[in-house]
Amino acid sequence: MVPFLHFGRLLIPTFGLMIAAAMAVAYYVLRADFARRGLAAKDSTTAEMFVAVPALCGIVGAKLYHVLETPRELLADPLGQLFSRYGLAWFGGLLAGFAAFVWLARRFRYSLPQVFDAGSAAAAIGYGVGRIGCLLSGDGDYGVPTSLPWGMSFPNGLVPTSERVHPTPMYELIVACAIAWILWELGRLQILSGSIGKSTTASRRDRVEFASEPPRASASLETPSKRWNALRPWLRPGSVFAAYLILTGVARFLVEFIRINPRSFFGLTNAQAASLASVISGVALWVAVSRKSLPQSR
């Protein structure tokens, strides 16, 4: 592993480089999603704001959440814990990034459900790319020992181990890419079905372009109108974000079974408890938005 790149006396952490790469990837995905929903033009700086501010707040929140999980160590060495080169908690980053996203949405006077939907695929892929930094730095996010052929050791990592362990950051990268694709497709179906037809600011030209795409939904229904009427209750504003909370929560909950994080209560890790909260919140949100009435399509 390569925790740092050496350029003379200059040390560049690979984790930081991958965080920057994650922000760049999330920016391009978010910009495309904002454009197709008519929230902002591709040449605007709106998407940059919605990536940079939540990402920076997320890093701070992830660090604070991590150090607050072990208050005894924090009190023993507060500066060392706060400014250590590793130790970021996913749930803390999610909370802080979410709060920053809400603030920006209010500032730009966007509909919260729709802007959360637009940011879901970007958040998923950004998380996956950021996990490559955990792999390169060997910061302790790897899994338990394994004899599988793709097991890896991290003798030079920030948290070194000579045993072959599960490369859990790679698992999360693969799953994050799959989740991002699912969320992107859900957003596309939202636009095609007209579920966000009157709440979006998309131009007439954009709406015609997307409406002219051949539908990829199930062909078991006889007519397009019947097909979209069947899908519309599942594609209401906020449903993509609900799916994000559910899918990412399930993915993180499962990967924790083979990760080295300590168990806290009921045999679960703190991340698993946070994941359960994410899944429950996602289900509650989906139920809430599915009960909202939609304007009838014409």
The predicted model scores a pTM of: 0.80
Helices 46-68 and 90-107: crossing angle, nearest 10°?
150
DSSP, residue by residue, 44-80: SSHHHHHHHHHHHHHHHHHHHHHHHTSHHHHHHSHHH
**111-163 residue pLDDT tens:** 999 999 999 999 999 999 999 998 998 888 899 999 999 999 999 888 899 99
Taken in order 267, 269, 272, 273, the sign of the CA dihedral is: positive
Tell me which of 64-68, 168-172, 248-252 is least confident: 64-68
Provide, for the chain, the percentages of residues in helix, strand and coil under a 3-state DSSP scheme, each rounded to the nearest 5. 65, 5, 30
Report yes or no: 193 and 235 within 8 Å, Cβ to Cβ. yes
**247-278 residue pLDDT tens:** 999 999 999 999 988 887 778 888 899 899 99
Token digits of residue 98: 């979410």
Give 290: exposed, middle or buried? Use CB within 10 Å, 0-12, 13-18, 19+: middle
For 123, other C-beta atoms within 10 Å of its C-beta total: 29
3-state DSSP assignment of residue 83: coil
